[in-house]
């Protein structure tokens, strides 16, 4: 039986205190009118640790989410850096390649070799009659009777962008138009002239080539 004690403070009489978890008891009196319940857990510290465990789980979940986010971002950045943009893009010509097929142009001993995912072609220097580097395809080339597989439909630009090669193989015209930025094309001029013995007509004004 619990001993009742009363205290008086400035004329106010407090009700007797009650133990929430009496020793040896199976029920606890919480507040007047509350229903007591039987606890099956002996260690009352379990209830005190629940908020801490819940907070810890949230922290761990947030940490894992942040780690996954950083891992995905790092992987994306790495893949983005590894993506290589080929300098030469096939734009028009008599070759059976898709427009925009990007590849590399090799200046070999006997001729040009171009390779992209859609295919490969070679042109011997001895068959080349004209090479131009312009912001478009010149009217002189367009006036030729060329059996276009992919006719030029180019966007006019301010800078030189299009490298055109015209070759005549036993009376049959072959034409290739490649799009390449000037910074990538500039190192090719000397090598082309050295290997082929022919120079590339570089655009300076429309009156010069028209």
- On whether both 59 and 144 belong to a single domain, the answer is no
* Per-residue model confidence (pLDDT) at position 187: 93
Residues 98, 34 share a domain? no
pLDDT of 110: 96
- What average pLDDT is seen over the chain? 76
102 vs 45: CA distance, rounded Å = 69
**Chosen domain end from 81, 106, 133:** 81
pLDDT of residue 36: 47
Question: Is residue 2, in this structure, part of any structural domain at all?
Answer: no
Q: Per-residue pLDDT tens for 168-208? A: 999 999 999 999 999 999 999 999 999 999 999 998 754 44
In a domain, 28, yes or no: yes
Q: What is the pLDDT of residue 6?
A: 46
First to last CA, the chain: 117
- The per-residue pLDDT for 204 is 73
One domain for residues 102 and 77: no
Residues 6+ apart with CB under 8 A from 114: 88, 90, 103, 104, 105, 106, 120, 121, 122, 176, 178
Total domain count, the chain = 2
Confidence grade of residue 8 (pLDDT, cut at 50, 70, 90): very low
CATH of the domain at 182: 2.30.29
pLDDT at residue 71, as a whole number: 59
Residue 3 within any structural domain of the chain = no
Q: Is the pLDDT of residue 72 over 60?
A: no
Q: Decide: pTM greater than 0.85.
A: no
Q: Which two tokens stand for residue 37?
A: 């319940």
What pLDDT is recorded for position 65? 63
Greater confidence (81 vs 136) lies with 136
26 with 119, same domain: the answer is no
Residue where a domain terminates, one of 25, 46, 81: 81
pLDDT tens figures, 79-95: 444 566 789 999 999 99
Residue 209, pLDDT score: 43
28, 61, 81 — which closes off a domain? 81
Give the pLDDT band (50/70/90) at residue 129. very high
Distance CA 119, CA 98 (A): 9
* More reliable by pLDDT, 101 or 27: 101
> pLDDT, tens digit, for every residue of 13-49?
555 555 544 455 444 444 454 444 444 445 545 444 4
């Amino acid at each position: 039986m619990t001993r009742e004690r009363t205290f008086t403070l400035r004329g106010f009489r407090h009700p007797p205190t009650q133990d929430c978890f009496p020793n040896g008891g199976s029920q606890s009196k919480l507040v007047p009118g509350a229903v007591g319940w039987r606890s099956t857990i002996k260690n009352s510290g379990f209830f005190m640790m629940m908020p801490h465990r819940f907070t810890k789980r949230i922290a761990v979940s947030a940490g894992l989410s942040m780690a996954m986010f950083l891992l995905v971002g790092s992987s994306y950045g790495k893949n983005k850096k590894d993506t290589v943009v080929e300098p030469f893009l096939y734009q028009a010509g008599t070759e059976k390649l898709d427009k925009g097929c990007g590849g590399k142009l090799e200046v070999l001993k006997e001729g040009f070799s171009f390779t992209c995912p859609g295919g490969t072609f070679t042109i011997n220097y001895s068959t080349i009659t004209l090479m131009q580097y312009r912001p478009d395809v010149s009217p002189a080339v367009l006036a030729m009777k060329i059996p276009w597989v992919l006719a030029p439909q180019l966007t006019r630009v301010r800078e030189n962008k299009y490298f055109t090669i015209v070759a005549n193989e036993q009376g049959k015209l072959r034409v290739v138009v490649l799009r390449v930025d000037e910074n990538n094309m500039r190192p090719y001029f000397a090598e082309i002239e050295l290997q082929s013995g022919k120079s590339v007509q570089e655009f300076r004004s429309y009156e010069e080539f028209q």
